Chains A and B, each alone.
Chain A
Amino acid sequence: MNKTYYMGRAELGDVLAERSRSSGGSLLSPCGGAWEQVRDPDRAVASLSGPRGPASPKGFLLPPAESLGQYGAAAEAATATAAAVELVGVRACELRAREYMDRVFEGGDFIDPRYVRRREAAVVVSCDCVDCAASCFCTLVGGEPFAREGFDVNLTPVSDGFVAEVATEQGKAWLGRAATSEAAPSQLAERDRLRREMADRLTGQNAAVVLDASAAAEALPDDADPAWQRFAGDCVECGACTNICPTCHCFYLYDQLLGPSQFERVRTWDSCLLSTYHRMAGTAGTKLTPRPRLSSRLANRVLHKFSYSPRQYGLVGCVGCGRCVDACIGAIDIREVVKELGQ
């Protein structure tokens, strides 16, 4: 049973100020939009009571671009050079996304050593959502607006302060002196009430788009079906949805020259929406991509989330963070796509 503590806002601010000093700049929070070094602890504390930020912490597990190492005359594997990060304000949907990524990068026959190193080194301080964006829909895909596991410390903003649930020794050490007064039953009751209220609010705001993820897995049409065109017509193939998605993990490998006999292999994020994504070598007249049509590629992304991922990893590939809804300049709402084509 995890221990729970109570601390005032100022006390948590002190913890952040102290960690900010002692972590050498690796204490990060999304309070400014992007995940950045905490410079203003009070602002970071205040952001914990707001909705999730526009960016997930995916980039700390799978950086947008990284060297995988050099080969040739002098070989060396690139070690994950990024300093161990302390992430404050990770949301429950983001922890579910990490569980999904774990199954991709650690769960098969081949394990990505860089992913493992980063995953292990990060301190995760999650926080309940006591506010949400209009695009949030975690409760439609089996999620909850608070985390039950996967964190070192979980914070719940309650009246005048926070309930902190400590799950690991690392988490206890992170809180330091702030973890002294145990949370009172009334504070835990308030936490439970806030959690119920938030879940109800999410269910309420999505009442019009109730979707059944497991029914969608079976009912969504295949990627050649013309029904997808209705949404693909609004897609401009920018890749914002895949970049912003906390579970999209497709990447591109390329090699570059560092010297006459020294080479580097680089990995960057890629997007299955882009026409070049599946492109293969071949002579004229051969079919160079299995999905030449944008509607097929859009379909493949949605099918991967709702139909293929449950079979591949035992998890729906969408955590309901709604970021792709916010990011899409064609105003494609994945809730509507799944509801209209998948019921």
Chain B
Amino acid sequence: MTPDDPYLPAAAELVEVIDETPTIKTLRLSPSRPLAFRAGQFVQLTVPGVGEAPFTPSSSPLEPERMDITVLNTGKVTEKLHQSRPGQILGLRGPFGKGYPIEKLAGREVLVVGGGVGLAPLRAMILALLADLGPIKRLSIKYGARCTEELLYWPDQHKQWAAREKVDVTTTIDRPQDGWTGPTGVVTTLLKGVDVDKPNCLCFVCGPGIMLKFTTQALMEEGFAPEQIYLSMNRRMSCGMGHCGRCNIGPHYLCKDGPDMNYALIKDYPNLF
């Protein structure tokens, strides 16, 4: 495949498919050339001949020789991705976008809020932070899914993360279920009176639109300022370069300026969620 054209995909071999939940799989890819990315940047993943879709890798940016992409089966391309088998050649373009402002986190507390498959992009940041927890004060992870079957990276990785000093992980499911002893209710219920040093905390949120909306509302009610909230915005990012026009929120192209946007920059535009 052609490496030097930003519009054309470079080959990436699918080396492993991990069944995460009934609707979510993680595809482990071996790019034909290392594809270095910053946590929160996204790639366009091509199913040859079918099309491409944007994903933020869920693996650590410190390991660029392999890339994990966690995919919810929700459309034409993602359905084909779910049918893909190890050995198959897929295509990658990117990385695109700004990525999480990791450099702003030194000396601060970090609150990560994920809903459903939204934990996937956040995992890249979590893994980057876990690799060197020194600069940050604390990492709080709040995660919610519909039911135990849909919990992502559960339970092993949650336990590994929680075992680290300075890290706490709380996980909830929407409704009580047999054998579940943890909290129940949507993820915003975990934010009521959340135990973080609010003035010195930045929040990173990723999940479906409705979850972003109510999480933002909950964080504002808790006293966070819009400038402290970063939202993983989802619109139809196609070219990845700010050329094709379709992913704008006002003057911001998510593919260039996001996909994680500071809420203060976008809060006055309508139809956000």
A174-195 residues at the B interface, CB under 8 angstroms: none
The count of chain A contact residues (Cβ–Cβ below 8 Å) is 52
A96 in contact (CB, < 8 A): no
Bound form: Cα–Cα A185–B273 in Å: 63
A28 CB, nearest partner CB in chain B, Å: 25
Q: Are A282 and B7 in contact (CB under 8 A)?
A: no
Q: Are A77 and B5 in contact (CB under 8 A)?
A: yes
The residue on A at minimum CB distance from B233 is A290
Q: Are B50 and A312 in contact (CB under 8 A)?
A: no
A253 in contact (CB, < 8 A): yes
A304 in contact (CB, < 8 A): yes
Partner-contacting stretch, out of B69-77, B153-161, B195-203: B69-77
Partner-contacting stretch, out of A1-9, A102-110, A130-138: A102-110
Return the CB mask of A188-224 against B: 1 if under 8 Å, else 0. 0000000000000000000000000000000000111
B22 in contact (CB, < 8 A): no
The count of chain B contact residues (Cβ–Cβ below 8 Å) is 49
A244-277 residues at the B interface, CB under 8 angstroms: 249-257, 261, 263, 265, 267, 270, 272, 277
Q: Are A308 and B251 in contact (CB under 8 A)?
A: yes
**Given A223-B271, A249-B243, A250-B246, do A69 and B256 touch, yes or no (CB 8 Å)?**
no
Chain A residue contacts of B53, Cβ below 8 A: 281
Bound form: Cα–Cα A286–B234 in Å: 12
Q: Are A108 and B246 in contact (CB under 8 A)?
A: no
Q: Are A253 and B269 in contact (CB under 8 A)?
A: no
**Given A77-B5, A250-B244, A307-B251, do A282 and B75 touch, yes or no (CB 8 Å)?**
yes
Return the CB mask of B43-54 against A: 1 if under 8 Å, else 0. 000101111110
List 3 tightest A-B contacts by C-beta distance, closest first. A281-B75, A224-B270, A250-B245
A/B interface sample: 23 pairs, CB < 8 A = A69-B7, A71-B1, A71-B2, A71-B11, A72-B1, A72-B48, A77-B4, A110-B241, A250-B244, A251-B243, A253-B244, A254-B51, A255-B48, A255-B49, A263-B48, A270-B246, A280-B75, A281-B76, A283-B74, A290-B249, A296-B270, A304-B248, A308-B250
A: residues with CB less than 8 A from B are 68-69, 71-72, 75-77, 104-105, 108-110, 112-113, 222-224, 249-257, 261, 263, 265, 267, 270, 272, 277-283, 286-287, 290-291, 296, 300, 303-304, 307-309, 311-312
